[in-house]
Amino acid sequence: MTGANISDSSLLMASSLVVISLLFSYFQKLRLEKETLISVIRAVIQLFAVGYILQFIFGLHNSFVTSLIVLLMIFNASYNASKRGKGIQNGLLISFLSILAGTCATLLVLLLSGAIRYEANQIIPISGMIISNAMVAIGLCYRQLKSNFKSRKVEVETKLSLGADILPASMDILRDSIRTGMLPTIDSTKTLGIVSLPGMMTGLILAGESPLTAIRFQILVSFMLLSTTAISSFMACFLSYRKFFNKRKQLI
């Protein structure tokens, strides 16, 4: 197996691709030169930093540090997701618990099945995929919850007036929001390999793995993303719908 190895000089030469983009921007008066440059420099610095940090952490072989990093990633993701759910009380805590539950459940199955081992170089990248997927799913759930409780206000109030408690009055909205959170993952799972060769699979192939090994990993990833989005969306919706009602069980 010989993987593609990128030397510094080839990286430097490849940077001419950025110049093409800059020239385009300049001659077409897109006024994107400054932004392009900043984004490229930022990306390079960020990635090198992450590369060195990961190299360091992988070398530590310390499962406590690994767990800490995963928790930090979950916190970051929850913070981002809760911004989508602005106005939802305890959005940060709810997001944190939902992503944590989704991540733990999925990691546990993967670990118990022997698919991965609790080592930094396996846990951190896998958690990264799980957590970012859960973050996107929860963000979608929040948006859908908020817009549904607004646009279907009279429906909810009618159900309340019939004597329904807040859960049955919100059930249809909850279902719809959880579906919204899960659909992108299901859709992309459907088209895997046909429309897109996912980044992870591409990465493995580039690194010299056989496509047959790569697809095995990809199948594993698809399974875990499905379970994570399901768990996280479900939890986030069921933990947050109460916040749309007051103590007198009126829709706010």
Residues that bind another protein (CB under 8 A): 154-155, 158-165, 168, 172, 248-250
Task: Compute the half-sphere exposure of residue 110: CA atoms within 13 Å on the CB side of its CA.
Answer: 25
How far apart are CB 116 and another protein at their closest, in Å?
43
> Which residue in this structure is represented by tokens 């993952």?
185
In total, the chain counts a number of residues equal to: 252
Nearest Cα neighbor of 69 from 108, 112, 107, 120 is 120
Rounded CA-CA distance 81/101 in Å is: 15
In the chain, count of helices (H) and strands (E)?
10, 0
**Closest CB to another protein among 53 and 154?**
154
Rounded CA-CA distance 145/73 in Å is: 25
**Closest CB to another protein among 33 and 172?**
172
Task: Compute the half-sphere exposure of residue 120: CA atoms within 13 Å on the CB side of its CA.
Answer: 16
Residues 6+ away with beta carbon under 8 Å from 19: none
How far apart are CB 155 and another protein at their closest, in Å?
5
**Closest CB to another protein among 35 and 165?**
165
How far apart are CB 162 and another protein at their closest, in Å?
6
How far apart are CB 160 and another protein at their closest, in Å?
6
Sign of CA dihedral 185, 186, 192, 196: negative
**Closest CB to another protein among 108 and 154?**
154
Rounded CA-CA distance 43/15 in Å is: 12
**Closest CB to another protein among 47 and 154?**
154
How far apart are CB 242 and another protein at their closest, in Å?
14
How many CB atoms sit inside 10 A of residue 241's CB?
21
How far apart are CB 252 and another protein at their closest, in Å?
14
How far apart are CB 89 and another protein at their closest, in Å?
20
**Closest CB to another protein among 1 and 162?**
162
Nearest Cα neighbor of 232 from 125, 85, 62, 89 is 85
**Closest CB to another protein among 158 and 196?**
158
